[in-house]
């Protein structure tokens, strides 16, 4: 008779028995979530799982040092939590992004994985919680309500510090370098997509650099709000079932692991009720995305052509641009950044709607907030890095094209205002356009200026 290997074990929770895959480190509550929420196939970000591990490690350390957990058990929990922090058990975090409110399933996923791994290290089989229990030990002095919220903050701060801020600084430096490099190149300015008075290419690029600088400043200010974490608030902020010394010890442990300066909220009840810190951060990310969209769009316009567009700058050729038109090269990095920015702007809308859904003592929409804010930080970071390194750094300017367009522009008539007046200058511009001549040609023909005077007053460089 053929023997079949058992594919599952039986665990129990408060609702009864549950079949759990035999090799899974998660348990009954996670399995119920897997069955209940087969929605998107998306899981929460690796940084979020790391943050959960950090919180569980810090909680076990606090409870062990206070004497509420036996040292042997506490050490086993901390060791298992360290493995979660390092990503060893990422495949065991299987709950869909769209899950039960507040993230209870996600919290229990972490509790069960750590409890089973700790039990295993103590010589027990998976599913045997006689020594280490997911709720009684791993979740001691915690609730979904404070840990999920804190994990969002921890993961967001680490993502901003490790990737987004460094890559924004990289872009800022690259744009400032281009501003210096292009400062001697005079070009025609444009407003309403029509000819305007001259500007130097370096001045134009300095504006792009300053947009990024201001985005960095706003990001740093928003970052400060996300440093508050309400660990120890448990269910509603009262700290029920948490030792009075738990919060201070846990936050110190979190700071030691992360190297950050997380702190207690000024009002723990405000922290539990709202997700305003993340909302502020998300709105800053949206603002950065709007600024970057403008920069990317300008790169596409300024490089349009190569012969039938503006053609004032040349972007690095990265790949063939058409499956049918040979030799076509497209501004692919700018296009990619546009798409990233649109996604970030959409994510911010989702975060805003989820944040306004807070009711009484809790916002239950935290899983979708976590997913969207962390995705925004990730894609914005990598999008900026690629755009900087593969596009901005390699931009070249077409000096001859810039000179030709600025010399020929009828907008140079603006410099005549102080000498002959606005309406008379407008007539000069109109005549130059109709006859296909330059403004300088017309004023010399009409005897309004000598060639020497016209050369001086209508010099595009002087007008910048």
Q: Which residues are catalytic?
A: 192, 322
Q: How far apart are CA 79 and CA 87, in angstroms?
A: 13
**Beta-bridge partners for 8:** 21
Q: For residue 376, how far is the Cα from the chain centroid?
A: 4
Cα gap 156→223, rounded to integer Å? 9
Residue 185 burial (CB count, 10 A) = 22
Cα four-point dihedral sign 40, 43, 48, 54: positive
Q: Residues 344, 286: contact at Cβ < 8 Å?
A: yes
8 A C-beta contact, residue 229 and residue 254: yes
- Residue 78 CB-density burial (10 A; 0-12 exposed, 13-18 middle, 19+ buried): buried
Determine the Cα–Cα distance for residues 261 and 5; give it in Å rounded to an integer. 50
Tokens of 399: 């000096």
* 319 conformational bin, left if phi > 0, alpha if psi -120 to 50, beta if neither: beta
Q: What is the Cα gyration radius of the chain? A: 30
10: left (phi over 0), alpha (psi -120 to 50) or beta: beta
CA distance readout (Å), 220 to 169, 193, 213, 384, 424: 12, 34, 11, 17, 51
Beta-carbon contacts of residue 241 (< 8 Å; ≥ 6 apart): 140, 141, 234
Phi, psi at 359, each rounded to 5°: -135, 130
């Amino acid at each position: 008779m053929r023997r079949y290997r058992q594919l599952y074990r039986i665990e129990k929770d408060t609702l009864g028995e549950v079949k759990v895959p035999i090799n899974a480190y998660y348990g009954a509550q996670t399995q119920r979530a897997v069955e209940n929420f087969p929605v998107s196939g998306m899981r929460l970000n690796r940084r979020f799982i790391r943050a959960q591990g950090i919180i569980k490690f810090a909680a076990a350390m606090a409870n062990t040092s206070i004497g509420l957990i036996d040292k042997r058990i506490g050490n086993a929990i901390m060791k298992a939590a360290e493995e979660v922090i390092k990503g060893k058990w990422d495949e065991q975090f299987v709950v869909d992004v769209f899950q039960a409110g507040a993230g209870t399933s996600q919290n229990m996923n972490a509790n069960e994985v750590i409890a089973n791994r700790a039990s295993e290290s103590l010589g027990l089989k998976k599913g045997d919680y006689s020594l280490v229990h997911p709720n009684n030990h791993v979740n001691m002095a915690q609730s979904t309500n404070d840990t999920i919220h804190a994990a969002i903050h921890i993961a967001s701060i680490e993502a901003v510090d490790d990737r987004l801020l460094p890559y924004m600084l990289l872009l800022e430096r690259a744009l400032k370098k281009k501003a210096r490099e292009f400062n001697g190149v005079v070009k025609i300015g444009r407003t309403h997509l029509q000819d305007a008075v001259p500007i130097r290419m370096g001045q134009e690029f300095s504006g792009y650099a300053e947009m990024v600088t201001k985005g960095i400043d706003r990001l740093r200010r928003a970052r400060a709000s996300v440093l508050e974490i309400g660990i120890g608030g448990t269910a509603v902020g009262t700290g029920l079932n948490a030792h009075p010394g738990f919060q201070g010890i846990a936050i110190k442990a979190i700071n030691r692991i992360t190297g950050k300066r997380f702190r207690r909220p000024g009002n723990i009840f405000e922290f539990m009720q709202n997700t305003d810190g993340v909302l502020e951060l998300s709105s800053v990310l949206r603002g950065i995305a709007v600024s970057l969209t403008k920069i990317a769009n300008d790169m596409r316009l300024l490089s349009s052509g190569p012969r039938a567009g503006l053609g004032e700058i040349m972007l690095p050729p990265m790949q063939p641009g058409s499956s049918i038109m040979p030799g076509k090269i497209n501004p692919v990095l700018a296009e990619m950044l546009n798409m990233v920015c649109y996604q970030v702007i959409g994510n911010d809308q989702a975060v805003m709607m989820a944040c306004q859904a807070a009711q009484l003592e809790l916002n239950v929409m935290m899983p979708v907030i976590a997913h969207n804010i962390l995705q925004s930080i990730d894609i914005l970071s990598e999008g900026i890095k690629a755009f900087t390194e593969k596009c901005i750094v390699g931009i070249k300017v077409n000096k001859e094209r810039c000179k030709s367009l600025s010399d020929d522009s009828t907008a140079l008539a603006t410099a005549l205002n102080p000498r002959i007046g606005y309406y008379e200058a407008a007539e000069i511009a109109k005549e130059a356009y109709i006859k296909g001549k330059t403004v300088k040609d017309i004023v010399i023909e009409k005897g309004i200026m000598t060639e020497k005077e016209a050369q001086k007053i209508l010099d595009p460089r002087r007008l910048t």
